[in-house]
Amino acid sequence: MKRGFGSLPVTAVLLAIAFIYFSTVFIFIDRWFGLMTSPGIMNAVVFTGVAVTCVLNYAFAILTDPGRVPSNFMPDVEDAEVPVHEIKRKGGDLRYCQKCSHFKPPRAHHCRVCKRCVLRMDHHCIWINNCVGHANYKVFFVFVVYAVTACIYSLVLLVGSLTNDSQNDEQQNADSSRTVYVISALLLVPLSVALSVLLGWHIYLVLHNKTTIEYHEGVRAMWLAEKGGHVYKHPYDLGVYENLTTVLGPSIFCWLCPTSRHIGNGLRFRTPYDGMSASTSK
């Protein structure tokens, strides 16, 4: 599957972003504050900054390869520095992809849409025409943060501008702006709710250092562990702060920037057992 902006869902997202931006700046802000006033200019500049950052992260999420499994990848079961090896549910063998004809690194999964294995795969997203995986998970997460911010900001400006009744509007302009208000409300309300739910879900995943696939697998693993009288713990959960830095980066000032130099090659991930294996090997 080719990544890019040519798919219908991506085109729909770009059109929605353009419509919301122009209606917010040139109707909501202009009607509430006036574009030539200090509050109007300030709100227009801030909203433009949020919108541009949102679009940039969206573009990065679309164009960034989520991560490919090297053709020569081979898990080393005798490596003492790799205490955790993922195995098949049935048989207990090392995970092997029959379609790609290679072993799967930890947290990698085969995507039926992309027709290949993706490193640290979270899910395939039609809205970015790409998989969300190891290399683009952070920019996808940051995009959702800015998208929620932009939608709520625009919704506040929409409501605020409605409270500012203008007596000087011509009837024709009033009718056309009313249409824009209705369309904007029909876009912004469900978008704000849906994206807020999506952001909340991914905040939960980041705090626990899980992917969407691992969450669903963990529910089954937890049930099986409790059935056998054991306690299940996600093998990549390092604690809240370590999970945050693992996914978003070591510097808090870069958490909302589209930088991913900290992520490594996606073939090995830190676990709570790393220190234990190092101490036992001494």
153-174 tens-digit pLDDT: 999 999 999 887 554 454 445 6
pLDDT recorded at residue 90:
56
pLDDT digits (tens, 9 = 90+) for 215-270: 988 877 665 666 667 777 888 999 999 999 999 999 999 999 988 888 999 998 98
Q: Say how many C-beta atoms besides its own lie within 10 A of residue 105's C-beta.
A: 23
Residues labelled as active-site residues: 125
Task: Characterize the bridge pairing of strands 109-111 and 116-118.
Answer: antiparallel
Instruction: Give the whole-angstrom CA distance, residue 191 versus residue 197.
Output: 10
Residues 6+ apart with CB under 8 A from 84: 106, 235, 271, 273
Using alpha carbons, select from 31, 34, 29, 66 the residue that is nearest to residue 51. Answer: 29
Name the pTM for this structure: 0.89
